[in-house]
Amino acid sequence: MMQNEETHSLSDSFVFRYMKEEDIDQILKIEELSFATPWTRQSFENELNLNQFAVYLVLEKEGQIVGYCGMWLIVDEAHITNIAVLPEFRGQKLGEGILRMIMEVAKKRGAKSMTLEVRVSNTVAQSLYRKLGFMNGGIRKNYYTDNYEDALVMWVTI
């Protein structure tokens, strides 16, 4: 299991580790390139420093953070808060690698299931989630505040 200061390699050039506060500048760049309503610095600071349920992983290549994923782990349920990869690194199965790693961390910490929300229009992400066993669980109407798009709720037993 990945411990708090451990790293885990995806390949020779990609390394997973837990997010640190000094990573936030790079994370904000990925957020801004990935989401219509990116999280703020304060949101990430709160997650890292105040939220006892939060676990965030980063994927690095030669010191550059190329992707990350966060979850809340409450009792035996994990909820993915966000996952993103820099646009220039997409299409290399890195998102899949990050998601597999956070699923492994969640399982080793006692999670029995995992959930997430995804835009109903984001068929690329939905395809990845289905590949890893996620199933449709319902719709959250008008979930996204930028355009009131519905979210598809997905679940997987881990």
Mean pLDDT of the region 113-130: 96
> What integer pLDDT is reported at residue 10 of this predicted model?
63
Model pLDDT for residues 48-74, shown as the tens digit of each residue: 999 999 999 999 999 999 999 999 999
List residues with catalytic annotation. Answer: 117, 129
Q: Report the C-alpha gap between 28 and 8 in whole angstroms.
A: 23
Q: How far apart (Å, rounded) are the C-alpha atoms in residues 106 and 96?
A: 15
Question: For 33-49, what is each residue's pLDDT tens digit?
Answer: 999 899 999 999 999 99
For the segment 130-138, the average pLDDT, to the nearest whole number, is 97
Q: What is the CATH topology of the domain spanning 7-157?
A: Aminopeptidase (3.40.630)
pLDDT digits (tens, 9 = 90+) for 82-120: 999 999 999 999 999 999 999 999 999 999 999 999 999
145-150, long-range: CB within 8 Å, 24+ apart, which pairs?
A: 145/37, 146/36, 146/37, 147/36, 149/119, 149/120, 149/121, 150/119, 150/120
User: Residue 9 — pLDDT band, cuts 50, 70, 90?
Assistant: low
Q: Around Cβ 71, how many Cβ atoms within 10 Å?
A: 27
pLDDT in the model for residue 1? 42
Domain ranges within the chain, ordered by starting residue: 7-157
Q: Are 56 and 36 in contact (CB under 8 A)?
A: no
Q: Which residues of 119-152 are buried (b: 16+ CB within 10 A; e: fewer)?
A: beeeeebbebbeeeebeeeeeeeebbeeeebebb
The model's pTM = 0.89
